[in-house]
Structure 1
C-alpha cells in the first residue's frame, strides 16, 4: 500500500541519508557533510510541510478520507504509538551520548548550547526517520496483535456457526467480483414480500463481519420467537434495534414461517469464502460475475475464479447454483453433482433470459407513459417525484414477462435476474415476482440518477470495476442531453492488469466524444490522460479539477464514476 508508494520510499531514503550524514558530521566535522546535511534536511522539511498543508486543506474542504476507528484499529494505533515514543526516547538517549558531549570530551565544547546543537544533529534526523516510518511501525503493531486477534476471531466464528445450527431457514450466498450488494438488496426485497428475511448489512461480507451480524440478529430473532423479548433491558433493546425486528401477529399470519438469510460473501484470499460457507451453509448460491477487479489480491484471474467459485463448490446436494451466463469466467465454474444449475443473462440459452431493456423517464406527478404498440408494465402507478427507470422483458420457463424496474442501466437489469431466479426457487409465482419487482426501491448503494438545474446527475460512486464502468458509460450515452461530462476515478485492486484495463478504458472513452473528461484518480490520472490524448482526445477536453457549475445551467448529463468521485457529488449538491 502506501508504504511502498514511490513518494513514500523517497521520503524514507531522504531521511536515512540525513541520519547518516548527521552521524558522519558528528564524528567527522567537515564542512561538506554539513552542507549536504542541511540541503537534505531542508528538502524533506519543505516536502513534509507542503504535504501537511495539502492534507489540512483536504480536511477543511471535507475531501480527505477519514479513517474508521474500530476497536482493533484503536488497539493497533495505541501499540504503534507506544513503539514510536519508545524509539523517540531511544534516539534521544543516543543523541545525549554523542562523542562531543561525553564527560571525557567536555573540553571540546565551549558551552552547553554547543552540546545541545551537537545532540540536535543526531536527534532531529532520527526523529524524522521514525515519524516517516510510522506506517511500517503500524504494520509491526498489527503483526504483534495478530495471534490474539486471530484466536478471538476464530472463537467468534465458531459461536456463530453453532448459532446457525438453530436457524431453520434457507441461506442464500452471493459471491462475485461485482454486483454482490445490488443482487443482495434485490433478493431481500423480493423474498421479503412473502417470507421473513434477514440480510447482511451494507458491505459486510467478511468472516468476522458476517459472524458478528449472525450473533447479533439471530439471537434477537430467537428471543422474539421464544417470546422472551421482555427479558432484554431497555438499553439493549435500543442498541440492537428491536423495533425493526418485532413481528406483529398480523404479519406472522400473512407471512410463511420459512426464513431466509441473504448473505454477501467477499474474500481477500483463497479459502475465505469456503470458510464463510462452512459457517452459514448456503443452499442457494449466486455467482454474479468474475473479472479482473481483485487481481491485486489474488495474483491472477485463475486464482480469482477459484476463490469466488468456492461458494458454488460448497453447495450441498439438492442445492441451487445461479450463474451469470454472460460471463465466461462464471460459465467455466464446474457445478457439483446433485446441485441444480440456473443460468441468467442476455445469452439465448440462459434459463432466465433478458430479452429487452427499454429506458424510461417518469416526470413528476405523472403516470408511466405508454410505449409505442405496447402498454407498459408500470402503467397506472402514480409517482411522487422524478424517477428514472426501465422496462425489462424476460423469459423464464418459456414464459415471457414485462416488468418495470425503478433502476437504470444494463447492469441493474442483469442484477435483478438472479433475484428473480431465487424468488422462483423459493416458490413465488412469476406474477407475484412481477408485482413485487415493480415496487422495489433502487438499491441504496446502486446507481442513482437525479436532476440539478438543467443537468442530469448520474451517481455511480459506491464502487468501481471494469464491467461496472462500461455499464455506467452506456447509461451516460443513453441520456438525451447535448452536453456530456465524465468524472472518473481510478479502478482499484487490478494489480498487474491495471495499465492494460485503464488503457482499454481510455480507448472506449475516446470513442464517446464527451465534452469534458475530469480525472480524479491518484495513481492513473496521468496515465489515462496520456492514453486519451494518444486516442485523439484534445488536451482541452481533459481536466484534473472539478469545475461544473457552468454545466448545471445548460442541458447536460454528468456521470460521477468511482469512490473518489463521491465527494464531488456531495459538493455539487451542497454548492451548485
Structure 2
C-alpha cells in the first residue's frame, strides 16, 4: 500500500530531506537506498518549520506546473480533448510523485542563495547582540559525547550564584545558537553555556565565530559521527577547533579518561592553560574519587571526593553513570575559577537529576520492572557506560534492547561486534532491531557463547515495544539503548 500512496511518498521524501538537514548529497544518497518509498512505520514526523513548509509548497507547485505543461502539449499536439488533458495530467502527476525528490532538490538548489543570506543575517545579528554584552562569560562545550550531561551539571552549580543561560536540548548549530541568542539572551545574564555540535570539519570553528569561549570544555572524543567526519583525525581536529577560536586568557578543561583527548591535546593547546578531570582517577586530574558505590535499591551513586589526601566532600547523586564523577570534578574546577563558594557548589550538586533519555531510571510500580532509558545515547563510550551500569544489577534479570549505533563508518563491524561481546557476559536477554549493524552485535554474542535462544530479533522498534509485555517479568531491569533514526538502515 505504501508504494501506491503518492501522498505518503511525497511526505516521506520531504521528511528525509529534513532528517538530512537539507544536505542535498546526503538526501540523494538516502533516496537511492530507499528509492523514496516509505517503510511501514515511521518513528517521527516532519517538524513543520517555515523552511520545510516553503519547500513543500514550492516543490508541489513545480511538480504541478510540469504536469500541466506536459498535459497541454498532448492537448495541443495530439488531441484537443479535455479527457486527454485530464488523463495525461493525472498520469504524469502520479509518475512524478515517485520522483518528487527531483523537484525537492531543484527547489532547495534555487533557494540556497536566499537561505545562505538569511542565515548570515541571523548570525550577524547574534554577533552584534553579543558585542553589547562585554562582561558576559561564555563557556563552550565540545566533544563526541557527554556534552549535555556536563552542561546540566555546570548549569545547576553556576546558577547558585549567577544568572546563567544554556543552549537547550539539541540546539548546537550556528543558526540554532544564533536564533537562541536573539530570542533568549537578557541584559542581566552573566554566563552563557554553549553546547557545540560537530558533524563536519569547521562546525566548531563556525560556532566559535559567534560565541568565542572564555572557558573551554572538551568532554571526550570517539567514533560518533565518523560516517560524516570521514576519519578520526578529522573528528579530533574539528573538536579541537574550540581551542583555536577563543577569547584571550581562556582555560581548557578536558576529560583525562578520553584516550584521544590525552593523545592529541598538546598539539592544539600549546599556549593555553589546561586542566583535567577524570571519573577513573587518571593521574592528570588533581581530584580523586574513592568508595564509589551503586545503590540498586534507591538507584543512586555515591562516592568520596578527594583532593590529594584531603577529603573534600561525600557526594550522592541520582545520576547513575560513573561519568558523572568526572563531570562533577570538572564542574567543581570551573566553579572555583568562577568564585563559587563550597556551599553554593554543594547546593547545586544536590539538585542534580538524571538527564532525560540518558541512563534515566524509570520504575513501573505495578510490575516492579526497572527501565533504564538511554535512548539518546549514540556513541561507543556511552554504550560501554550503559553496559557497566546494567552489570551492577545483581538480583535482577537483565535485558538490553538496541538498534545499534549510527554513523560509525568503516568501524561499524568492529564496534558492534565488541558491543555483542561485552553484552555476552552481562545481559540475560538481548533484543535487537533488524538493520545493517545488528548482525554484528548478534555475531559478537554468539561467538562468546551467549545462548542464541536469548537473542530476540524484531523488524521494527514498534514491534519490539509491543512485544515486551510477553517478555518482561516482575523485577526485571531493561535498558533501552539508542534510537535509530528513519534515515538510517
**SS of equivalent residue, structure 1 residue 203:** coil
Inter-partner Cα distance in structure 2 for 1:397 and 1:280: 35
Match of 2:431 among 506, 510, 518: 518
Instruction: Say yes or no: does 1:423 pair with 2:335.
Output: yes
Distance 1:537 1:82, change over 3 A: farther
Inter-partner Cα distance in structure 2 for 1:507 and 1:196: 46
**SS of equivalent residue, structure 1 residue 333:** helix
Shift of 1:278: 2.3
1:368 is aligned to none
Inter-partner Cα distance in structure 2 for 1:176 and 1:389: 26
1:321 is aligned to 252
**SS of equivalent residue, structure 1 residue 266:** coil
1:133 is aligned to 99
**SS of equivalent residue, structure 1 residue 65:** coil
Verify the 8 A CA contact 2:374 2:480 in the aligned structure 1: yes
Aligned-pair Cα RMSD in Å: 3.0
What TM-score, normalized by structure 2, do the two folds share? 0.82
Long gaps (5+) in structure 2: 1-25
Inter-partner Cα distance in structure 1 for 2:308 and 2:118: 48
- How far does the alpha carbon of each residue in 1:347-387 deviate from its partner, in whole angstroms, 9 at most, with x for none? 12323444452112465xxxxxxxxxxxxxxxxxxxxxxxx
Inter-partner Cα distance in structure 2 for 1:207 and 1:356: 42
Instruction: Say yes or no: does 1:163 pair with 2:83.
Output: no
Verify the 8 A CA contact 2:63 2:93 in the aligned structure 1: no
Instruction: Say yes or no: does 1:308 pair with 2:239.
Output: yes
Verify the 8 A CA contact 2:319 2:352 in the aligned structure 1: no
Distance 1:166 1:474, change over 3 A: same
Shift of 1:128: 5.2
1:351 is aligned to 286
Inter-partner Cα distance in structure 2 for 1:397 and 1:285: 24
Distance 1:353 1:129, change over 3 A: farther
Distance 1:93 1:290, change over 3 A: farther
Instruction: Say yes or no: does 1:458 pair with 2:389.
Output: no
Inter-partner Cα distance in structure 1 for 2:450 and 2:76: 62
Match of 1:342 among 275, 281, 284: 275
Shift of 1:337: 4.8
Instruction: Say yes or no: does 1:84 pair with 2:63.
Output: yes
Distance 1:152 1:519, change over 3 A: same
- How far does the alpha carbon of each residue in 1:261-300 deviate from its partner, in whole angstroms, 9 at most, with x for none? 1111112322221122122221100000111101122110
**SS of equivalent residue, structure 1 residue 393:** strand
Verify the 8 A CA contact 2:369 2:475 in the aligned structure 1: yes
Long gaps (5+) in structure 1: 13-47, 59-63, 104-111, 226-257, 364-387, 566-576
2:295 is aligned to 360
2:227 is aligned to 296
1:259 is aligned to 190
- Indicate the structure with greater helix content: 1
**SS of equivalent residue, structure 1 residue 309:** helix
Inter-partner Cα distance in structure 1 for 2:35 and 2:170: 35
Match of 2:421 among 483, 503, 507: 507
Shift of 1:67: 1.6
Inter-partner Cα distance in structure 1 for 2:232 and 2:169: 26
Inter-partner Cα distance in structure 1 for 2:260 and 2:301: 28
1:494 is aligned to 408
Paired residues, number: 445
Distance 1:414 1:87, change over 3 A: farther
Shift of 1:5: 4.4
Instruction: Say yes or no: does 1:409 pair with 2:341.
Output: no
Match of 1:549 among 469, 474, 480: 469
1:400 is aligned to 311
Inter-partner Cα distance in structure 2 for 1:84 and 1:531: 48
Match of 1:154 among 97, 115, 120: 120
Inter-partner Cα distance in structure 1 for 2:397 and 2:297: 21
2:389 is aligned to 475
- How far does the alpha carbon of each residue in 1:401-437 deviate from its partner, in whole angstroms, 9 at most, with x for none? 3211121022333333322221122122445423431
**SS of equivalent residue, structure 2 residue 387:** helix
Verify the 8 A CA contact 2:214 2:246 in the aligned structure 1: yes
Inter-partner Cα distance in structure 2 for 1:445 and 1:515: 22
Distance 1:349 1:162, change over 3 A: same
Verify the 8 A CA contact 1:317 1:339 in the aligned structure 2: no
Shift of 1:504: 2.1
What TM-score, normalized by structure 1, do the two folds share? 0.70
Verify the 8 A CA contact 1:315 1:336 in the aligned structure 2: no
Verify the 8 A CA contact 2:417 2:443 in the aligned structure 1: no
